Structure 1
Amino acid sequence: MTTSEQRSLRIAYSPCPNDTFVFDALAHGRVPGAPALDVTFADIDVTNGMAERGESDVLKVSYAVLPYVLGEYTLLPCGGALGRGCGPLVLTREAGTDLRGRTVAVPSEKSTAYLLFRLWAADTVPGGVGEIVVMPFHEIMPAVRDGKVDAGLVIHEARFTYQNYGLHKLADMGEHWEQTTGLPIPLGAIIAKRSLGAGVLGRLADAIRASVQAAWDDPAVSRPYVMEHAQEMDPAVADQHIGLYVNEFTAGLGEDGYAAVRGLLTRAAAEGLVPPLEPGALAFPR
C-alpha cells in the first residue's frame, strides 16, 4: 500500500449545498473502501488559487482555471457541476445598452462566467467591450445602479434579485452558450493531483460516484451536513440549489460533459483568454 493510500486526502470544496450534498457520505466515512478525507471549506475563488499553488490533493475549482493546473492535477470524471438554465447575466442600468467600449464589472477573470461573457461579447459586441473592472460580487449591482460602471456580470442568486436594484438584463450568457453549442454550461470541476497515482485516483472517482448516489437515494441523511454549512439559507432554497447543480453530469461527465468542457476551453483559448489545452489533457488516468 502506498503512502497516498494510507493517509487522508486533503480536499477543499465550497460550503454550498451542492458540494456538501455530493460529499456528505464520503466525508463521513459511509462509502466502503473509500479514501479518508481531510476537508477544508473554501469559496471557489480561494480554491482556484489553492490549485494554482498546488496546495491540496483534491479541489473543487472553476473550469476556467483548468488550463493553468492540468500539469499537476487531473480532471475527475464526476463530482462537479455542469448545468442548463443557470448561466451568468449581464446587467445594465438602461435597457438595451450598447456595450461597445463600455466599462464592465466582473467578479473574477478566472471563472466560467467570465469566459462565457468574453465569448458572448466576441460574437455580439462589434469592436468589443471596454475596460474590465474586477470587484467583489456583492458590489457589482450597486456599482451598475449608481453609474460607476456601465454593466455588470453577475451569477447565482443575482438572477432573481437584480430587479430590486432597478437594473435590466441585457443578456443571459448561459442562453447564448446553450443556443450556440447545444451543450451544458461547465461550472465547477473536481480535480486531483496526478501524483496520487491511477489506483488512488480510480478509487476516489468511484467513491465520489457512490457518495452522489447515496445522497440521491436518501437525501434526508445529508440534510444536517448541508444545512450546517448553508449560511442560514432557507431549506427550500438549498433544495433548489441542489436540484439545479447536482444532476446527471455530477454522476459522470459523459460525452456531452466532456464536449462542453473541451468546447469552452478551446473557444476561450482561441480568443486568447486561457492557455491552449495539450492533447489528451482532459483524459483520466487509467
Structure 2
Amino acid sequence: MKLSLGFSPCPNDTFIFDALIHHKIDTEGLTFEVFFDDVETLNQKALRAELDITKLSFHAFAYVAEKYALLDAGSALGFGVGPMLISREPYDDAAVGRFKTPGNGLKIGIPGKLTTANFLLGVAFPELKNKEELIFSDIENALLENRIDLGLIIHENRFTYQDKGLHKVIDLGDYWEQLTGCAIPLGGIVVNRNLEHSIQLKVNRLLRQSVEYAFAHPKSSLDFIRQHAQEMDEAVMYKHIDLYVNKYSVNLGSEGRKAIDTLFTMAEERSIIPAQPKNLYV
C-alpha cells in the first residue's frame, strides 16, 4: 500500500523520516510517495486534504482536525525552541512596549498565517497586524534589505540571524513557557482520518520506530539530511536536530498532549481558531 507523505526539508524532519522512507525499518508493506515542502505549503496542502500523512504547524492543525488525526510520534515540541522576533537594530524595553500601540505601522515578515509562530506573535503582540507572508528562509534578507521592520523566524534561522548582524527582540518560545509552564508545540505529524484505523495505528507505530532508529544511529541519515539542508554545515544541522527532536518526537505522552491541549484551549478562548473535535489524536 502506497501512502502520500509530506514533510519539510529541515534537518529535524529528514532525521525523523529517513529510516521510514528508506526502509531501514520494516515498513510492514507500506511504501511512501514523498513531497518536500516548506511548512506553510504543507499547511495549505493539509487544508485541501491532499496528503495521507503530513507535517504541519499546530496552528494549521486546528483548521483540519476534522480531516486529520495527530500521531503520537514525530512531533516537534520543546523548551527553548520557539520562534523569534528579530530586527535590524537593537530594541530596548520601551521600544518593544510601543509594539502594543494600535496602528503602530510596523511591518512584520512572517513565515505563514497558519504557523504556530504567527499564533504566538498574535498572543504576545495582537496589535502587530501589518504582516507580510514570506518563505521562512527569506525573512532575514527581507530585513537586511529594509523591506520589513521586524522578522518572525523559525527553523535553522535561529542559528544564523546573529551572523548577519540582526538582533533578537523577543523569544516567543520563552514567552510561551513563562505564560503556561508547558513545552511549546511547534509542529506535528497527522494522518488522514479517511484511512482505516488499523493503517493509522500502523503509521504511528512505524514513525515511532523511525525516530527510535534515528536516535540509535544518528549518522545513518547524514547524507539524506545534508542533501536537503540548504548549505548548512554539519554542526548546525545537528544543533537543529538536538533542539527539535526529543522525547516528544518519540511519544507525546501526557506532557506533550497537555501542551497541545493548552495551546488549543487558549486559541479557542481568544477566538483565534474554531471549536475543535473532542479527540485530536489517533
Compute the TM-score of the two structures, normalised by the length of structure 1.
Answer: 0.87
Please state if 1:56 is matched with 2:54: no
- Secondary structure at the residue paired with 2:220? helix
Unaligned 5+ runs, structure 1:
1-6, 123-127
Matched with 1:231 is: 230
Percent identical pairs in the alignment equals: 37
Moved more, 19-28 or 155-164: 155-164
Q: Structure 1's 34 and 44: CA in aligned 2 closer, same or farther, altered over 3 A?
A: farther
Q: Output the CA distance in 1 between the equivalents of 2:129 and 2:201.
A: 45
Matched with 1:283 is: 281
Q: Output the CA distance in 2 between the equivalents of 1:16 and 1:165.
A: 20
Please state if 1:132 is matched with 2:131: yes
Shift of 1:224: 2.1
Please state if 1:43 is matched with 2:38: yes
Q: Structure 1's 207 and 148: CA in aligned 2 closer, same or farther, altered over 3 A?
A: closer
Unaligned 5+ runs, structure 2:
none
Shift of 1:178: 0.8
1:116 to 117, 120, 133: 120
Shift of 1:18: 1.2
1:250-275 Cα shifts (integer Å, max 9, x gaps): 00011111111111122122222221
Q: Output the CA distance in 2 between the equivalents of 1:160 and 1:29.
A: 32
* 1:142–1:165 contact (8 Å) kept in structure 2: no
Matched residue type, 2:176: W
Matched with 1:190 is: 189
* 1:10–1:39 contact (8 Å) kept in structure 2: yes
Aligned residues, how many? 272
Compute the TM-score of the two structures, normalised by the length of structure 2.
Answer: 0.88
Shift of 1:19: 1.2
- Runs of 4+ in structure 1 off by over 6 angstroms are none
Q: Output the CA distance in 2 between the equivalents of 1:221 and 1:143.
A: 36
Matched residue type, 1:116: L
Shift of 1:168: 3.5
Q: Output the CA distance in 1 between the equivalents of 2:189 and 2:203.
A: 11
* 2:40–2:111 contact (8 Å) kept in structure 1: no
* 1:107–1:134 contact (8 Å) kept in structure 2: yes
**RMSD value over aligned CA atoms?**
2.0
Matched with 1:14 is: 8
